[in-house]
Amino acid sequence: MIALVGALARPELRDLLASDARPAESLRGKLTDGARAGIAADGWPRWEAGSGQVETYETAMTAELARYAAAFGLETVEIDGRQVLGVGQGDDTGPWDGKLAVAIAAHLLRLPADVSPDIVRKRLPMIGMIAASRIRAEEEAARLPKIAGEGPDSVHVDAVTEPYAEFFSVDHLILRHQLHDGGWSDPLLRAVFMSGDAAVVLPWDPVRDRVMLIDQMRAGAVARGDGAAWLYEAVAGRVDAGETPETAALREAVEEAGLTIDRLIEGPHHYPSPGAVAEYLYLYVGIADLPDGSDGIGGLASEAEDIRSHLMPRAELTRMALAGQIRNGPLLSLALWLELSAPRILAELGQG
C-alpha cells in the first residue's frame, strides 16, 4: 500500500486520483515548502523528520495515480517503513492552489494513454497555463453581462482530442450549440489553438508623454510570407500557472525591456481571434519613467528572445496607428485606447 501525504492526501486530488483511499496512521514529521505541489514538477513539499503529525491516506496504486505520478516524476520514498507518495524538493512557500492543481490533474488524465510521461513533464508549464486560463475564464464569465439567449447549458462539448501537442497545442472539439431560433446545431468539428493567456503592457511616461515599444522577429509573419517579419509591439508574455496577469505584465516589462512599471492601468482585455484561438489577452498601460537612454536590447537568452526597445512620442504612436503602420493587434488596441483615455488617466494621476 502507498501512503498519500500533502496535496495528494487532500480531497481535491485524492478523489480524482485514488477515490478508494482511506485514512491511515499519521507519520511523525512535517512537510514544508509545497505551495506548487501538483502545479510544477519540482513543487512537491520537503519532508522533515521530527515533531508534528502528517496526515496520510493509504491506497493501492491506481492507474490514474500511476499516470499522474509519472507525469510529475514523483516517486515513492520510504519513511518509517512505509512507502510515501507526495514528497519532493519544493522550495515555494505560500498557500496551495488546489483548484489549479485539480485542473492540471484533470488535463493530464484526459491525455492519450500512449503519450510518454517525459513529454507530458516537458509540457507541464504550458498545461498549467492552459488550466489556469480556464479557471480565469470561468470566474470572469460570471461577472460579464450575458448576450440574449446565452446560458450555462447553451453549448455541449461531446468530445475533445489533442492531435498536436508540443509547447503549444491544438484541441479538436466536437460540439453542439443552441441556435438563435431556439433549436440545436448539428455536431461541429472545431480545431482550436491552445496557448494559455497573455499579459500585454504598453509603458507610458505621462510626464514626457512618450511610450516604449519593442520589436522582434515573429514566426507568424514569416509563415504568412511577410517580407517584414519584425513588428512593433508592446511588451507581452504568457501568464504562468499560479501567476496573475498583473504580475506577468510587471515581470515581462523587466525581462523584455529592463523596465520597472510604477502602476498598471487596465486596458481593453479581449480575445484576438476567438474563432480558432483560445488565447485571451490582458491589456495594460504601464506608468513608467522613460528618460533618454532607457531603450536598448533585452529579452531572455533562455527563451531565445532577441528584443529591441524604442522610445517614441505618444503622438507619433497614434499617428502610426491611424496610418496603418502598427500591425500588431494588441499594440494597435492599446495605442488607440490610450489616445482616447489619456486625459482621464492624467486627471487620475493629478497631472491633468
Spacing of C-alpha 155 from chain mean position: 24
Q: At what angle do helices 314-322 and 329-348 cross, to 10 degrees?
A: 140
- Closest by CA to 238, choosing from 136, 144, 335, is 136
What's the first-to-final CA gap in the chain, in angstroms? 69
Least Cα distance to 196 among 242, 107, 127 occurs for 127
Q: pLDDT tens for residues 283-333?
A: 999 999 999 999 989 888 888 888 999 999 999 999 999 999 999 999 999
pLDDT value of position 153: 83
Active site residue 303: yes
- Listed by start position, the domains of the chain span 2-98, 125-133+155-195, 198-348
106 is in an annotated binding site: no
Using 50 as the pLDDT threshold, list the residues of the chain that sit under it.
none
Element housing 27 (H / E): strand 22-32
The reported pLDDT for the residue numbered 236 is 97
Distance CA 114, CA 124 (A): 17
Q: Is 105 annotated as a binding residue?
A: no
Cα separation, 84 vs 58, whole angstroms: 9
pLDDT of residue 352: 67
265 close to 287: Cβ distance less than 8 angstroms: yes
Distance, C-alpha 129 to centroid of its chain = 3
Single-letter code of the amino acid located at 99: K
pLDDT at 122: 93
Q: Is 305 annotated as a binding residue?
A: yes
**So what's the pLDDT on residue 302?**
84
Q: How many CB atoms lie within 10 A of CB 91?
A: 14
Lay out the sheet containing 169-177: strands in order across: 155-165, 169-177, 188-194
The residues, any chain, with a CB within 8 Å of residue 89's CB and separated by 6 or more, are 42, 44, 46
Instruction: Work out the widest C-alpha separation in the chain, in whole angstroms.
Output: 73
Q: What is the pLDDT of residue 301?
A: 86
- The residue among 273, 278, 282 whose CA lies nearest residue 252 is 282
Give the integer Cα–Cα distance in Å for 94 and 247: 16
DSSP one-letter code for 23: E
Distance CA 352, CA 344 (A): 8
Tell me which of 162, 279, 303, 339 is the catalytic residue.
Answer: 303
pLDDT of residue 148: 66
- List the grid coordinates of 40: 510544477
b/e code 59-73 from CB counts within 10 Å (16+ = b):
beeeeebebbbbbbe
Cβ atoms 148, 142 nearer than 8 A? no
| Cell 483615455 found at | 341
Sign for the CA dihedral angle at 211, 215, 219, 223 comes to positive
Q: How far apart are CA 54 and CA 26, in angstroms?
A: 5
CATH 3.20.20.70 fits 198-348, yes or no: no
Q: Is residue 40 part of an annotated ligand binding site?
A: no
Nearest to 29 by CA among 7, 59, 13, 51: 51
